[in-house]
Chains A and B, each alone.
Chain A
Amino acid sequence: MAGNKTILVVGGGISGMTAALEAAEVGYDVVLVERQAYLGGRVAQLFKYFPKLCPPTCGLEINFKRLRSRPNVKVHTLAEVQNISGSPGDFTVTLKINPRYVDDHTATTKDVEDCPVEIPNDFNYQMDKVKAIRLPYEMAYPMNLVADKDALARAKGDSAFQAFAQSCAAKGIKLNLDAQPQTAEIKAASIVWATGWRPYDATKLTKLGYGTCKNVITNVMMERLAAPNGPTAGQIVRPSDGKKVNNLAFVQCAGSRDRNHLPYCSSICCLASLKQATYLREFNPDAQAHIFYIDLRAHGRFEVFYEKVKQDDKILLTKGKIVNITEDPTTKDVILEGEDILSGQKIRRTFDMAVLATGMQPNTSVDKVPASGVTYDEFGFVVSGPGIYSTGVGRRPMDVATCMQDATGVALKAIQDAVGR
């Protein structure tokens, strides 16, 4: 629309994409900036959504489809905001845009499967390795390869690598390890900050065995373990020996609601564990899941899901706090200790594997908005900023549908500063 100004959205996860598209479909020009090589953020790494147990990629595909038909959204991946100056209606933003180090024609991982260099796979929370040149995941948007420059530079002298580079060229894929980051300056009337969250660092929960017990994993890792495109192709097996998991424990509030870690409630972990219990039960009908919780926070319509999951007599729920996890040195089974809240009895039980329901920590608690006047609460969530609107988990812990609602509203707040009058 004539006279209207551009809206900048920072963060290409589900919240940022939603804010960008909702504003664009009204008719505004949007610049969407994402740090990763692909859009979708944490949602892209989920196996299913609660409560419908449907694949998140279905929702991402809708948004990608919307993006493809909206030329008024300009997407920058591998990009970061370095500085914001100015005031509402008239911001100047400096972007650093990193290269992909490879040019292709929407190639796939299959096209580069003979790449001799491998790196730890961050998409699968480092549970496996991935080619140093790859499509981030099958549905990645944009559908382009990305290369790990450092890993490839180390292999540059190898003849195997040189042969690979030549085979790439024959397929229309050009490696360009000398590419340099670009700096760009853009003008924006308002800014939506949607940089999302990171799982709380489970190694800080020293008593809960993460990093010391092989078969203690986190809930985000569990999503990848259950996903067909995950490190085990959807097999829910133990990291220590690859054995099918028969007896799985979920430890709720691993760090959340804990004044020494994340004092707030992460809002989604109870539902995530109920959902993950269904993953196990579907994968292995003989298996049993046991959820240890303080309060089962399945509020509103999620209660319907909770009631449904509770019907499964192989999903056990114990109101109890787990305080210690150790490993049987021979079997690598995990031993959980804690207290049953209702009976007051001590808990000491052995499981094949344990999932720590770690909470969501806002990225803004570590990486602040590079602008003046932005305020944060005591936990690092953004409260407000002039012309800068925080949305999604950067604002408060929330589930995916709430993120989309919130981001839709924030799009209107951003429009209020950009409307041409």
Chain B
Amino acid sequence: MEPKTGLYIDTGYGIGEALDIEALKGVATDEFKPAVCKAESYWSDPDKIEIIKSDIASEGLKAVVIAGSSPRVYQDVFKFDGVITERINLREHVVWCQPPSHEDTQMLAEDYVRMGLTKVTKYQDKPPFTEETVKSILVIGAGAAGLSAALDAANAGYEVFLVEKEAELGGWANKFSKAFTGEPPYDQLVDSPLKSKIDAVKSNAKIKVFASSRVYAISGAPGMFDAVIRPDGPWIDELNHKQDTWLKVQLARQKQAQEGGTAEAQTEEEKAAAGGWAVGEELALDFPHEKVRVGAVVLAAGWRPEDPAKYESLGYGKYPDVITNVQMEELARNGKIKRPSDGKDVNSIAFLECREENSENPFLNNSYVTCLVTLKQAKYLRESNPNGRAYIFYENMRTPGQYEKFYQTMQDDPGVFLSTGRVLGVSGDGAGLAVEVKDSLLGERLKVKVDMVVLATGMIPVTEDSAVVNLRYRQGPFLPKNPYGFNDSHFICFPYETQRTGIYAAGCVKSPMDFQGAESDATGAALKAIQCAELVSRGEAVHPRAGDQSYPELFVTRCTQCKRCTDECPFGAYDEKPDGTPLPNPTRCRRCAICMGSCPERIISFRDHSVDMIGSMIKSVNVPDEYSEKPRVIVFICENDAYPVVDMAGINRLQYSGFVRFVPLRCLGNINLVWIADALSKGIDGIMLIGCKYGDDYQCHFVKGSELANYRVSKVAETLQRLVLESERIQLFQLSIDEYGKLPDMINGFMDTLSQFDPNPYKGF
């Protein structure tokens, strides 16, 4: 067989007792003729590894196949330079879940040997993707987050371009009177928290600052992004408008597509915006600008204050002495706090929580930060006016971690009155303001007379109004938002992974944060940006397949311009050529192979993973004739979660039908319908797909793989009809990694369903 292969069957772990090893070797040598075929116990032992190594040298092996334990163990041990290494899981997937010395167990093992040996014949020898890349970092925004990202990347030796829309660095810190720092002793306020950082950035030779500037466009891909930086001006509003129009048309189209039908663009402007974003359009850079090439991007554009106009019921807009917490910072910067209406000294302030009444999540944009700001501003009053009285009304005081001490200090201050309660309204009589509160600790319903009212308004991510990164991607200028409306990852386990590779969000574009939170978040984003630049320079994928050196290659001459790969890639890896064929950007690719599944022409493949490879593995399964009463089922499993589920079932020795054959995929979204057709036309009786949970709380590492698989499978009805087969023969299941206890019932239940049908009539064809 080609490549020259050695098969090493492990007889340890009970495999030798449960299986007829000689018969297994016979299948391999008769059907595949590997150059070496040996059976011994525990090939992972150092002396056995030496045997394999000497075989590689003496026989000139190009591939080594180990049939024994799960590939989830001994991955580091079974690693031979320059040699394809393939694992066949005879332990967890055969002998630990099937009765020993049984005909069906033996047939299962034999099929896995066939599939594994077939797989190695389909590897292609291709070098990793390494074009010339750069490792410099673009940081957008020079507030607390952006300054930290820039400085921490520069201090690790990387060149940084820092873009700030204001003339001065520092962002909101420049506008605040004082700040809490999150440092011991936790209850003290400091002036100018970012001053030393701003100085350090300015004096760092590795950081080039573009002040009063914005990012006009980013094109390219990780390692080779081209960013156009342009002096701030009215163009940004025009660009935002154009992008919004494009988005509107896209959303209308999506909605229509879901409801069936098509949405036509209405106005000329919408028609102009209806095409793919930036498809075939050359950038006309007929204005002052600077173009920089960067490896990765940190988006730290920050926040803007919530529009207080909606708090009219709290007196905003009606009474000049009802102000926001942002306005309060300006007042406090001037020393003693004076009333906006008449300039008189302020002796009492009511601080009110802003509950956005029509919002499902009224405090989403406040988080814990506005609570801390309220306490801080009460302290401003108390420090500048010893007779000052601060009334704070709240529903839940949110001072997490060590900030609780700040809260305790304020509770101990006799001039600060803290009370839970719902504010009913604010009224004014010329002399002052009256706040009416219900459910208060101080009484059921009370009125407090104060000189001034401060509203604790929230922090809105600037990405709500603008793409900021202004990507020149076929999928649009925006970073996709998570279900909370923020520009970042929806993963607990990989908090920095956005749906645009190489672009990492940090700070208040992700969630309201205090200075300390934003700074440490930004340092993490800088690490991810550096890591991305390093990985792509080595031709490797980024998280979660970091280190994978395969990448998609397209046989474009057979492309029918259906655009499914371009539309379905969750990471926007494909742009479009003028002729409508996809333009892959390998460094944007996460190697999930969802595109490989989406392609009806089967023209997308990886060196170690292809439609032909999986199809050939399925075809190598031995299908007994219809009278044997031995049905065969192919189970496509996601290698991230479902594969460990099968392993866990084995580890717990859970038993289930021996008629199933597992085929791991990079993601369930990797499924190509041709494999289902291949399997059915070969006489396979049923197909299961097991992937992770989808929906709002999706667990798919590639965002929508299992959901896409479900969508695709719903479309195979036609194929089944053509073959005159029952639709229940194909089913998709969602399973979490810890639900291995459910696997036997899931498989056996599916076999029960199949038993109601006749065998697949295509057996033997």
Contacts and interface: CB of A to CB of B under 8 A. Distances in A.
Interface of A: 22, 25-27, 49, 51-55, 57-59, 61-62, 64-66, 68-71, 105-106, 108, 110, 135, 138-139, 143, 171-172, 227-229, 257, 259, 263-267, 295-301, 303-304, 307, 319, 341-342, 344, 377-379, 381, 383, 396-398, 400-402, 404-413, 415-416, 419, 421
B495 A404 contact: yes
Contact of A59 (B72, B74, B155, B493): B493
Given A51-B697, A264-B402, 15 more contacts: A25-B543, A26-B534, A49-B492, A55-B737, A61-B640, A62-B640, A105-B42, A108-B651, A171-B14, A257-B404, A264-B401, A266-B401, A297-B368, A303-B364, A408-B527
B697 A295 contact: no
Interface in B62-98: 69, 72-76, 79
Interface stretch (B284-292, B392-400, B424-432, B717-725): B392-400
B396 A296 contact: yes
Contact of B76 (A66, A71, A257): A71
User: Which of B41, B408, B641, B738 has most A Cβ within 10 Å?
Assistant: B738
Contacts of B153: 412
Interface stretch (B516-524, B568-576, B622-630, B704-712): B516-524
A27 B693 CA distance: 33
A68 B547 contact: no
Contacts of A62: 493-494, 544, 640, 701
B405 A419 contact: no
Contact of A303 (B363, B738, B741): B363
Interface in B373-418: 396-405, 408
B424 to A, nearest CB: 16
B73 A263 contact: no
28 contacts: A22-B531, A26-B530, A54-B693, A55-B738, A64-B72, A66-B546, A69-B547, A105-B42, A105-B45, A138-B651, A259-B408, A264-B403, A297-B396, A299-B398, A300-B367, A301-B484, A301-B486, A341-B441, A342-B439, A377-B186, A377-B402, A397-B401, A406-B524, A407-B524, A408-B523, A409-B152, A412-B523, A416-B152
Interface extent on B, as a size class?
35 or more
A266 B152 CA distance: 29
B398 A264 contact: no
Given A228-B741, A264-B402, A297-B368, A52 B534 contact: no
Contact of A404 (B368, B493, B701): B493
Given A68-B75, A267-B400, A139 B648 contact: yes
**Which 3 residue pairs across A and B have the least CB separation, nearest first?**
A409-B523, A408-B524, A59-B493
B496 interface: yes
B544 A396 contact: no
A69 B75 contact: yes
A407 B404 CA distance: 23
Q: Is the interface of B mostly helix, strand, loop or mixed?
A: loop
B586 to A, nearest CB: 18
Contacts of A228: 738-739, 741
Q: Is the interface of A mostly helix, strand, loop or mixed?
A: loop
Given A54-B492, A143-B73, A307-B360, A297 B398 contact: yes
Nearest to B43: A105
A106 B69 CA distance: 9
B184 A412 contact: no
Contacts of A227: 738
Contacts of B361: 303-304, 307
Given A300-B511, A415-B156, A59 B492 contact: yes
Given A106-B73, A397-B401, A263 B492 contact: no
A301 B156 contact: no
B475 interface: no
B173 to A, nearest CB: 19
A263 B737 contact: no
A271 to B, nearest CB: 11
A102 to B, nearest CB: 15
A409 B520 contact: yes
Contacts of A267: 400-401
B367 A401 contact: no
User: Which of B156, B183, B402, B493 has most A Cβ within 10 Å?
Assistant: B493
A139 B183 CA distance: 38
A294 to B, nearest CB: 8
A138 B652 contact: yes
Interface string B650-669: 01110000000000000000
Interface in B1-47: 12-14, 41-42, 44-45
Contacts of A61: 640-641, 644, 737
B651 A110 contact: yes
A131 to B, nearest CB: 15
B524 A409 contact: yes
Contacts of A406: 520, 524
Contacts of A396: 182, 401-402
A410 B69 CA distance: 36
Contacts of B493: 58-59, 62, 401, 404
B8 to A, nearest CB: 14
Contacts of A263: 404-405, 408
B185 interface: yes
B368 A299 contact: yes
Contacts of A295: 396-398
A112 to B, nearest CB: 13
A405 B546 contact: no
A410 B555 CA distance: 43
Given A58-B736, A105-B42, A379 B156 contact: no
Contacts of B736: 54-55, 58
A296 B400 CA distance: 11
B420 interface: yes
Contacts of A264: 401-405
B589 to A, nearest CB: 17
Contacts of A410: 520, 523
Interface in B120-156: 152-153, 155-156
B222 to A, nearest CB: 14
A304 B397 CA distance: 17
Given A303-B364, A377-B402, A413-B152, A68 B72 contact: yes
Interface string B508-547: 0001100000001111101110110011000000011011
User: Which of B14, B363, B404, B526 has most A Cβ within 10 Å?
Assistant: B404
A396 B404 CA distance: 12
Contacts of A59: 492-493
Contacts of A377: 184-186, 402
B699 interface: yes
Contacts of B74: 106
Contacts of B45: 105
Contacts of A379: 402
B525 to A, nearest CB: 8
Contacts of B401: 264-267, 396-398
Contacts of B44: 105
B157 interface: yes
Contacts of B41: 172
Contacts of A409: 152, 520-524, 526-527
A57 B493 CA distance: 10
Contacts of B701: 62
A30 to B, nearest CB: 13
Contacts of B13: 105, 172
User: Which of A22, A54, A344 has most B Cβ within 10 Å?
Assistant: A54
Contact of A408 (B491, B528, B692): B528
Given A27-B534, A409-B524, A58 B699 contact: yes
User: Which of B152, B156, B653 has most A Cβ within 10 Å?
Assistant: B156
A68 B530 CA distance: 22
Contacts of B186: 377
B522 to A, nearest CB: 8
